[in-house]
Amino acid sequence: MFKNLFTKIGVLNTNEHRLSPEEKFFNNIVGYPDIKKLLLKSVVSKEPVNILLTGPPSSSKTVFLLEILEGLDDTYFIDAVAVSGPGMMEYLFSNNTKYLLIDEIDKMKK
């Protein structure tokens, strides 16, 4: 709860050095170690990587996207429920974005 506050004021956590990169990057998500490793590898990859997260409701798909959004610069998050395909394309062509995170793509308006 106070981790963000302590980070902002410069108080260091003595256990921080013991955390794996996945635990540091996805510290708000419990479990899913394989998905954390895969996503972390894709983020640091020099090659283009596309990942589709699928699963039942409440399986942390959106939480993973929000953690990536919070942790990386040059990232654009789209809630596809509220945008159309042409609207998204217009944004992408007018802005150079390295990471594109699309949530609920199956519900995007055509």
Would you say residue 93 has pLDDT above 60? yes
Q: Is the pTM of this model over 0.85?
A: no
With CA atoms as reference, report the closest residue to 103 among 54, 50, 33.
54
- Residue 86 has φ and ψ, to the nearest 5°, of -60, -35
Q: How far is Cα of residue 73 from the mean position of the Cα atoms in its chain?
A: 11
**Contact predicate 67/25, CB 8 Å:** yes
* Confidence band of 63 (pLDDT split at 50, 70, 90): very high
Would you say residue 6 has pLDDT above 60? no
Task: State the pLDDT at residue 64.
Answer: 92
Number of domains forming the structure of the chain: 1
Note down the domain range covering 103.
Answer: 3-107
Q: How far apart are the C-alpha atoms of 55 and 59, rounded to whole Å?
A: 6
Task: State the pLDDT at residue 9.
Answer: 47
Task: Give me the mean pLDDT over the 93-102 stretch.
Answer: 85
Between residues 54 and 3, which one has the greater pLDDT?
A: 54
Task: Give me the mean pLDDT over the 15-30 stretch.
Answer: 70
Task: Give me the mean pLDDT over the 19-40 stretch.
Answer: 81
Q: What mean pLDDT, rounded, does the chain reach? A: 79
104: left (phi over 0), alpha (psi -120 to 50) or beta: left
Q: What percent of the chain has pLDDT over 90?
A: 8
CA distances to 62, 66, 68, 91, 94 from 107, rounded to whole Å, are 14, 18, 21, 19, 24
